[in-house]
A and B are shown apart, each in its own frame.
Chain A
Amino acid sequence: MTPKSPVSRAPLSEDLTELRGRLSALIPILEQKPDWYGSVFYERKASKGFLANLKQSQLSDQISAGIVLRIYDGYTLYEQASDQVDPESLKTIATEFAKKVQNSAPFEGAIKRAYHGAKWSERLSPGLDEEITSQIPSDVQADTFVHFGIRYSEDPSSISGNSCLEQLKAIVSRCRELTPKVGLNPDDLTFVMARQNFSYEESIFVDRETNMSQALYRLSLMIITMSGADRTFCRMGGLGGLETVRITDEEIVDMLRNLKALKKAERLPPGKYRVLFGPVLTGVLAHEAFGHSQEGDTCARGRSKAWELHKSGEVVGNEHATILNNPAIFRNAEHDYAAWGSYFFDEEGWLSEKQVLLDKGILKPPMTNLTSALRLGVARTANGKRESWANGVYTRQTNTYFSAGNKTLDELMTELKDGFLALHPAGGMEDPKGMGIQVGISFLQEIRDGKPTGRLFKGPAGGDIQMTGYTPDILNSIVAKSKIEFNSKEPDKAQNPFNDTGGCGKYHKEFVYAGCGGPYLLLDNVILG
């Protein structure tokens, strides 16, 4: 047996290690009244972006850092956010903030729901992933500094700007060099861009029962090729090291082949079709279906049909319709790095854990943040997220996906027979109360007798295609699902389907990262237009 190599994890920076020691002193100021629950969240995201195109090579170096002081008085969550974190400013801001909350009064008729913070014993659920429990000392107490660091193989902080830009320029050149392989000329590529981002994301959460920090390395790589108005892209990434961003010539050739075919793509006549969704499209469907309407704050606002259907036990999909949300994917399918939407704890200090949102068509309790869990009277989950420290907290999705099935991709293609393969997403939108759904598709690949014909189809007006419909109808139209390792007949060894890089803009504005993936999903008789 070869000895296991030591695990490398992202550390908390020295200056933040010093800062976290000072934050506990703010809690008594934020809990001046016995009914108040005080907490502090600090976040720093330091990101480096590298970009090469046919004309330029660019580098960006951004930092967003700030602190959120929080008082929950049983009625309202008050937050005071600032980028001033020196000790003197913090004490002054906290004192003035507490005074302001003291002078606030709830509206007449408001209902009080007190909260006093969960002890470690209440946080340590048996379902927690080993990646989390292995980083918590066995004798953990309220004053223990617990740090969670993302595991990585190839240290992304060691890469120089010069070498990264050289690699990206090489990818841009490679895109041009490979054009003859698909019958294009290099000059047919009117725009090529390769962009890599590395973000070092550190956060600290402190309340009277915990003092936690986490450090994540987030990497992504995106290649765009264009010919006139036609565009194809390839996107990858995850949480870990440089192992998360590797592109092969086969992937570039695939992009170029699609770009060439798009120049001759036909327009899809609107109608009902049989379609095989690839993993990213499946992820969008899960996210928009019983994703958004299973967000606790949407339920608490009276804006979710899922909350009504959960209480009535209504069946809203067939036996294939199982949807999960999981911020604790630290091994992404067969890859040994974490999925894009993962973290160890959310921005309100709740530890990440897998949650079933829809079980064979039956709705389970929703995801929550602190105030929505209290308002709905359901369990806390680790879904309190914000765009940045300067934005408010909402219940947000992390990695949302369908459970895996038992078919290989070849078997699903045979079962599809005549229809379309949809692999390339173009956004999506939920309708949490009306239960409509919109899943955008960049283009469709025609399949005849289980084989690609090489013909591509765009939307009826030459743009994206939208799959729309009534969510329960679509969840009842699922015919079959693939395994996680869909190219193998062997039983899956991986625990979770692959989740790709994605994002989500809730209520049309607040943007957060979200993993987007799942198995292949065969759907019958769905509306495309």
Chain B
Amino acid sequence: MPKKSWTLEQLKKALSSRKDVKGWIITQEHVHRRERYFLLDGNALAIDQDRDVYVQSILARIMVPLNKPDRQGEITKKLFPSLPLAPQLDSAVAAALQTDYQAWSLPEKIASPLSDLKTTDPRMAEDLAGTMNDLTKRVKDCTAQKRPTVFSSAELFLAVHDRELHLSTGLVHRSSQSRAYAEAAYSMMEAPRSSERPKSGTSVPQSDEYLNMRWSVHLDDLAIEEIFAETTDRAEHSLDVSKPTTGKYPVIIDADVLATLFNTHVSQLSAQNAYHGLPFVKPGEDLIPEAKGDLITMTLDPFLPFGADTTVLSDQGIEQRPVKVVDRNRVITTLTDKQYADYLGTHPTTARGNLVIEAGKLSHADLTKQAPVVMEILQFSGLFADPNSGTFSSEIRLAKLYDNRKGSVTYMKGGSLSGSITENFANARFSREVVKRAQFQSNSMQGSGYFGPAFVLLNDVSIVG
């Protein structure tokens, strides 16, 4: 271990003894990651890259009083234990003094013991390298299976994040989280059966692929064999496609898309948006104007076992509990952490957690039969969701068209879809099947979690072919 100039306890003492500091939050995180990239080399599976990563960080958020009424300064700075402490703190305080925020105060220390939540897969916590080897064997077994498609590549990422939160109020909280990521890509090469795609006078055989990705906290939710099976199945259909005809369709989207849309849209229910003058839906208003389909009931659940945002505390030291945010389409809670509660003169609520949406009554098969023609999006190319307007759009990478008049199911590719949460969820029908989903950015401390319907049927979605 490197020589340390100071310890965490010394940092806390140093901050507490400073008269020019009114409060502080320290987050210490140790991360261990293992990563492997696989590809087909000749006819054999090969590991292109094999990585082992250790990251340690101490972030201090320091609040300082300013010579202005009801204002304060703030800075979040990474501190290095190998460097002397005092100059780092002097520099942080000097920087904080240049900023200008409305004043707020940290919450009182929590008296009751905090709930013990399920946030880490014990296999990863105990032996990350061994778990990587076990998963590698499963990848190898999957790629060894004889299929009509050709395996292209795969990636496996595993990580354990150990974290400590220390507040100047005396609150100390330790937690950990495991994260797993898997992706697989398979290609299909054959003469097209019914492709409408231009062939550019080609001597090159038709080929296409399917890439599948999944994040999880628990390895059972990663389901590697399921990812590989789904990938090869969809790759197999990737050449037998048509372009959709331009028009408005009833469209089924899956939980991955739902999770992205609502984890983006939920910012419109936050106190932060209310404070900054950004689009905001206040309690008492409808989430979806004039909704007539399955009315959305949404809970922010920080207790969901092995959720991507399962946490008992907010970053500002507020105890988190499941909170209903939308009840049958009516917004009932503004998501508010301590800072914005002080700004708006309200009480803090749960501000972190996994989005839980109440399931519907119809099965996936029922959803496909709700109209004469139903389009099911299997994958978007790149979904872009606008948190301000609630609109979303993407090219269609692969879709199924259920023509219930003819009793046929055909695959579609190309063209784009444009939607709006406020318009296209007005007659939404949610599936009764539910799934859990997770999403992480590689270097962020916080993930986005979802538990709810595996599918939803939307109305009148614009598609251009």
Chain A residues near B (Cβ < 8 Å) = 53-63, 66, 75-86, 88-89, 97, 100, 104, 106-111, 160-162, 165, 190-191, 226, 228-231, 270-271, 297, 300-303, 305, 308-309, 312, 314-316, 371, 375, 387-388, 390-393, 426-434, 436-438, 440, 459-466, 468-470, 472-473, 507-511, 527-529
Contacts and interface: CB of A to CB of B under 8 A. Distances in A.
Contacts of B391: 459, 461-464
Contacts of B389: 229-230, 462-463
Given A464-B393, A466-B416, A468-B415, A111 B41 contact: yes
Contacts of B418: 270, 459-461, 463-466, 529
A463 B414 contact: no
Contacts of B394: 429, 438, 466
A81 B381 contact: no
Contact of B101 (A58, A429, A511): A58
B386 interface: yes
A84 B204 CA distance: 50
A314 B464 contact: no
Contact of B51 (A79, A438, A460): A79
A271 B246 contact: yes
B39 interface: yes
B350 interface: no
B420 interface: yes
6 contacts: A60-B75, A81-B55, A229-B389, A433-B207, A459-B391, A468-B416
Contacts, number: 303
B99 A107 contact: no
Contacts of B6: none
Given A390-B443, A463-B393, A426 B384 contact: yes
A75 B55 contact: no
A83 B79 CA distance: 13
B442 A61 contact: no
A230 B48 CA distance: 45
Nearest to A509: B442
B101 A527 contact: no
A79 B48 CA distance: 11
Q: Please indicate which of the listed interface residues B100, B183, B197 has the most CB atoms of chain A within 10 Å of its own CB.
A: B100
A506 to B, nearest CB: 11
Given A388-B443, A461-B423, A461-B462, A468 B50 contact: no
B152 A111 contact: no
B200 to A, nearest CB: 5
A82 B57 CA distance: 11
Contacts of A83: 54-57
A95 to B, nearest CB: 14
Given A61-B92, A107-B46, A300-B39, A434 B238 contact: yes
A89 B1 contact: yes
B364 interface: no
B82 interface: yes
Given A433-B187, A507-B183, 13 more contacts: A76-B49, A79-B52, A84-B1, A84-B54, A109-B44, A302-B150, A315-B200, A436-B414, A462-B389, A463-B391, A465-B418, A469-B414, A527-B464
Contact of B47 (A106, A308, A461, A507): A106
A245 to B, nearest CB: 19
Contacts of B54: 81-84
Contacts of A468: 395, 414-416, 464
Contacts of A528: 464
Contact of B416 (A62, A81, A432, A438): A438
Nearest to B200: A472
A6 to B, nearest CB: 31
Interface stretch (B208-216, B219-227, B294-302): B208-216
Contact of B74 (A58, A104, A466): A58
A107 B153 contact: no
Interface string B422-441: 01100000000000000001
A393 B50 CA distance: 11
B53 A82 contact: yes
A12 B29 CA distance: 29
A165 B464 contact: no
Contact of A429 (B57, B395, B465): B395
Given A303-B185, A437-B395, A190 B277 contact: yes
Contacts of A305: 204, 207
Interface string B147-172: 00010110100000000000000000
A161 B98 contact: yes
Given A393-B49, A428-B382, A314 B204 contact: yes
A470 B42 contact: no
Interface in B170-211: 181, 183, 185, 187, 197-198, 200, 202-205, 207-209, 211
Contacts of A440: 382, 384, 393
